[in-house]
Structures are given as C-alpha cells and as structure tokens.
Copies of this chain bind each other. A is one copy, B any other.
Amino acid sequence: MKKLLLALALVPAMGSAQTLADRAPALRDAALNDDHLAWDLVEGLTTEVGQRLAGTEAEARGRAWAVRRLTALGFANVHVEPFDMPVWVRGEEHAEIVSPFPQRLVLTALGNSGATPPDGITGEIVAFESVAALEAAPDAAVRGRIVFIDHHMMPTQDGSGYGQFGAPRRQGPTAASRKGAIAIVVRSIGTDHHRNPHTGVQTFADGVRPIPAAALSVPDAEQLQRILARGLPVRMHLTLTPRQTGTHQSGNVIADVPGTDPGAGMIVIGGHMDSWDLGTGAIDDAAGIAITLAAADRIMEAGRPRRTIRVVLFGAEEPGGLGGDSLYAHHHPGDRVVLVGESDFGADRVWRVNAGLAPSNAALAARIGAVLAPLGILTGHGEADAGTDLGPWVRGGVAGIDLNQDGTRYFDFHHTPDDTLDKIDPAQLRQNVAAWTAVLALAADAPEPIAGLPPRPQRP
C-alpha cells in the first residue's frame, strides 16, 4: 500500500507537469534515435520536385508541395507570402580549347551571366591568379580577351574559405568587364575534383556591361592551367546562352507552432526552398528546411510551447537573399521576434553552437550549451549570424543562434549537379534534428524574457 502511494506521488514530477524545457534532453535523444520526418521531407522535396530555381515554376511547385505537406502535418497558419523578383535562367553552355590543344572543357554559367551569340565567341585566354592581379593589369592586356581567374581553395570545417576564395566568382566578372574582356571563366569555388562545375550568383555592378561569365570544374581549371603552362597562346571558343526573363513571383512559405504566451515573443527558424538548377538542392537547402521543420514538429507533438515557433521556407535565397529581405521588410518590427536561426550549410553534423544572446540571457545560453554537449557540440564564443535569410533580424538587434554544421565536404557538392539526396547521411541528419529540437524546447519554453542586442548595420 505504501508502495502504491509513493508511485502515485511521483507521477506529476515524472509526467505531464514537466515543462518542454525539462524534457529537452529526452526530446533530443528521441530525435537522435528515431527521427524519420527530416529524411522523408528532404527525400520528398528532392524527388517529387527536384531542382527549384528561384522565381521559376519549379520553385512554385516546391512551395505548393510544402503547403500540402505542412498542412497535413498539422502546422498552423500555413501560407505563402509572395514577392516579385527578376529571374535569370541558364541556356546552352559549351567551351572548347581551339588551340594549341583542341579539347572540350566543362563549365557552367554563373548567375546573371551575360550571353554569347548562339554560335559562341572565340578569344585568347589571359590568366590571373586573383581578382587583385586582374585589377592591377593594364586594360590593354585584357581588352578583347577571355579572362581566366584561378585560385586554390582548401576544405575548412567552418566554411570560412567561401568568403575569401569566392572573390573570383563574385568580383571577377565586374572587374573583367570594366577592363574590356569579352568573357570570364573562373575556377569553381569548390573543394572537389569532379567534373561538375559550381555555379553561384554574381551581380554586375551598376553601369557595367554584363559579359558571359562561367565557372570551370576544378579538373578543367587545372587542365587549363597545364595547357597555359606550355607557354603558347591559348584560344577558347565559348558558348553561353543564358537570359534574363523579366519579373516573376517567388515567395516564402510560413508554418507556425502556436505558443501559449503571445507576449513572450516569437522564435523564427528555417531554411530556403529555392536551389540552383543543376542538382536537386538536397544539401542546399532541402536539408535545412527538413531539419528545422522536423524539430518544430517534434515540439508540436510534445506539447504546446510558451513561444510561437515560426518556420519559414525562404524563396530566392540563392540570387541574394530576396526571401529573407522580403520577410524582414514585411514583419520587422511589427512581429515581436525574439530569437532567429537558419539551417543552411548542408546536412552533416552540428559541431558548434554560437548563441548570440544578450548578457542577461547567459543562463539560457548555458542551458543550451549543456543540452547540446552530449551530441558532441562545442560551445563557441562567436556571434550568431543566422544565415543569409535571417541575418537581417540579427543585424536589426534580435538574438540569434547558429548551429554550425561540419562544412568539410560541403563545398565538394555546393551549387553543382552533385547536390543530390545521396550526399545526405541519415544519421548526421538526425543529429541536426536532435540539436534543433533541444534548442527549441529550451528557448521556446524559457521562463525568462529573451532580450534584444544592440543593432548592427544592415548589409548594403
């Protein structure tokens, strides 16, 4: 009899009276061991829709797919917030060395590349090892030629090479056009050795004439270097026929897990719906969508959190964060958002958390670090960045949280035809869901206020 009474007395403490925050470790472990939703979502989106180039009907099919799935899952307030954007689409792309050693090279147009005539152009290659070297060259060395910019990029766990080594792609086309080049080809911003070139956005500066601009696969860039090393003039025939198609619609898909306390502010997380057109956008960024949705779904299934959790599937991230800008323009400062975080760096394990919280939230940051440590996640001491899409909020003074994924192999596949489902390891995907689930359980249910931080300048 005494035993029974004791057992009954324990029920409230062990059962329903536990808060979501109390249950964060258990929710984390359940996700780590059992989550199938993230895989189902990334498999479904990449299989049933495939590539989702921003502003195209493929991206629209992605939104429709998401609205159907998220409604069926029971998310609240599922809807699309549309916006308009200029849409660039790929055409034919071929390149051949004409002389001294005739052979085909594999390349792909960069976003917003200009076009050659349908039968291409032919020009002599002039090679530089950096954008700085191109800018230092006399115009006469460049005028009428095809610029080639090489570089070397090593894999890094934190992806920090992408900024520095992305310069040839981002600044090269404008610099080459200003000097009168007829086209530019750059080594892909990638760390692999496969003949899959890496596309990506670049934007010609105001008043600069768009020229054809493309990325050679890494083996092709190395081949061109070897050909150039013979010291003979090298002529390339280049055909690129992309085009600007005018203004079309993109949009953000919104899905909410409603909270109990509107006064406590909202948490916004997500990933981006659009992808480049070459692969199926599995690691960039169906995975980010799937991870954040699966984590939010686990909270929804576990009980109602204090704060509303909003998941946003952003449109048009790749052309320059247009979906993120649209969300910020329409919802800031009207919505009371207190914490943001994006998943947009593949599907490999989270290895570090950077909690960009106010000093008054040090206790929450410590609880987050503690719940993540059993997943092997280090507590970092950097600022949060919140990705391209939610960065405007962080810069606007909202707390952010970054769950840094291992990027060692991310730039092997990023923006290539190889960004496909097989690159995702289900066990690592589950670790991501576990981390986000634990963070959401703690943050959405935190009893203390989540404070803002001093704003920083928005990017131009």
A77 close to B (CB within 8 Å)? no
Question: Which of A51, A100, A101, A219 has the most B CB atoms < 10 Å from its CB?
Answer: A219
Chain B's nearest CB lies how many Å from the CB of A209?
Answer: 31
Closest to A226 in B: B47
A421 close to B (CB within 8 Å)? yes
> Contact between B196 and A194 (Cβ–Cβ < 8 Å)?
yes
Contacts of A47 in B (CB 8 A): 101, 223, 226-227, 230
> Contact between B223 and A103 (Cβ–Cβ < 8 Å)?
no
A420 close to B (CB within 8 Å)? yes
Closest to A219 in B: B420
Question: When chains A and B are docked, how far (Å) is the Cα of A230 from the Cα of B43?
Answer: 12
Contacts of A50 in B (CB 8 A): 101-104, 223
| Contact flags A25-51 to B (C-beta < 8 A → 1, else 0) | 000000000000000000100111111
Question: When chains A and B are docked, how far (Å) is the Cα of A423 from the Cα of B49?
Answer: 34
Question: When chains A and B are docked, how far (Å) is the Cα of A102 from the Cα of B53?
Answer: 13
Chain B's nearest CB lies how many Å from the CB of A12?
Answer: 46
A346 close to B (CB within 8 Å)? no
Number of interface residues of A (CB under 8 A): 34
Question: When chains A and B are docked, how far (Å) is the Cα of A418 from the Cα of B226?
Answer: 17
A195-B279 contact in complex given A43-B226, A106-B417, A226-B43, C-beta closer than 8 Å: yes
> Contact between A48 and B422 (Cβ–Cβ < 8 Å)?
no
A193 close to B (CB within 8 Å)? yes
Closest to A282 in B: B219
> Contact between A195 and B193 (Cβ–Cβ < 8 Å)?
no
Chain B's nearest CB lies how many Å from the CB of A348?
Answer: 15
Closest to A100 in B: B48
Closest to A225 in B: B47
> Contact between B280 and A103 (Cβ–Cβ < 8 Å)?
yes
> Contact between B49 and A422 (Cβ–Cβ < 8 Å)?
no
Question: When chains A and B are docked, how far (Å) is the Cα of A279 from the Cα of B423?
Answer: 23
A139 close to B (CB within 8 Å)? no
| Contact flags A200-231 to B (C-beta < 8 A → 1, else 0) | 00000000000000000011001100110010
Given A50-B101, A50-B103, A195-B418, list of 5 further CB < 8 A pairs?
A: A47-B226, A50-B104, A50-B223, A193-B422, A226-B421
